[in-house]
Amino acid sequence: MPDYVERTAYYAEAPLALVIGCGGLGTSIARALGRRHALLIVDLDGGRLAQTVATLTHDGYTVAGHRCDITDPAQTKALGEVLAKSPGIRALAHVAAVGMSIGDWRKMMAVDLVGAHLVAEAAGPHMVSGGAAVFISSLASYLPARDAKLEALLAEPQRQGFLTALADLHGKEPDFDWTYNYAKLGVNMLAERLAVEWGPRQVRAVSLSPGMIDSPMARAEGPTLPSHDGTETRVSRGDKAREIPLGRQGSMIEITNVVDFLVSDGASFLNGIDIPVDGGHRAAWRAKGVIDR
């Protein structure tokens, strides 16, 4: 018997914060949302998940982990069954995504877009009234020009023949940069659709598009980025950061702070939009005619 009284997690029976992906940004977001909610963290990587749960538990959070490959409908269905036995979800932060290091554009699309759809299907029925979901997208979602055919395709990424139809529309198999751009546009569209579907239940959905953020994922992608000047050339991260009106990349905490606000009651009338958190990078791209919105 310890000779002290342990704190009991008084909010363990209250609705959860569900965080999908416990990489750099996911863990930062979990730390913020876990100050007010019991946490359920989901990741494919069992070792990373166990380590994150152990560290957060040590730091006093009420936290559980659930291993799940979000590209596998059987596994996201099982996640839904776990959520059905929970007190419900007050805040959902969908963060998991992969970059070009995955080495296959089809797999990238499966994680970055289909995974978001499967998570929404699993979590949606368990969101409680007053709850909110934030889908982490990317400023890259603004790069495809507006196109009704493209948007109709991206709305249904689980449809048979989706990848072939996308490659046909693109003119060839998209490279990793374009796959990411399309997947993240699809994520924005998903959040917009969910806002309409979930709104009558008093559940909000938004997407958040980080610009250039210093994170483990960004560093793993290498020292260069596409120039977005209409050529195939790449530029250094430093040169890219100088395009941003604030003249620097952002930090994970600058994204986390906005997520924390978006799921809070302070944002209770904010629904169905994308929020770029990018130091003004989108505005600079628009001024240069790189993007059309």
Ligand X SMILES: NC(=O)c1ccc[n+]([C@@H]2O[C@H](COP(=O)([O-])OP(=O)(O)OC[C@H]3O[C@@H](n4cnc5c(N)ncnc54)[C@H](O)[C@@H]3O)[C@@H](O)[C@H]2O)c1
**Which residues contact ligand X (rule: CB under 6 A)?**
21-26, 43-45, 48, 68-71, 95-98, 111, 115, 136, 138, 210, 212-213, 215-218
Distance in angstroms (rounded) separating the CA atoms of residues 74 and 72: 5
Task: Give least dist CB 158 to ligand X, A.
Answer: 15
Task: Give least dist CB 71 to ligand X, A.
Answer: 5
Q: Which residues pair with 250 in a beta bridge?
A: 213
Distance in angstroms (rounded) separating the CA atoms of residues 293 and 281: 12
Task: Give least dist CB 168 to ligand X, A.
Answer: 25
Choice between 37 and 94, CB closer to ligand X: 94
Task: Give least dist CB 219 to ligand X, A.
Answer: 8
Choice between 102 and 200, CB closer to ligand X: 102
Residue of 158, 187, 167 lying closest to 20 (CA atoms): 187
Choice between 163 and 201, CB closer to ligand X: 163
Query: Closest residue to ligand X, Cβ-based?
Result: 23
Residue of 77, 107, 15, 92 lying closest to 259 (CA atoms): 92
Choice between 17 and 68, CB closer to ligand X: 68
**CA-based end-to-end distance of the chain:** 62
Task: Give least dist CB 77 to ligand X, A.
Answer: 14
Distance in angstroms (rounded) separating the CA atoms of residues 186 and 155: 6
Burial of 285 per CB tally in 10 Å (0-12, 13-18, 19+) = buried
Choice between 201 and 237, CB closer to ligand X: 237
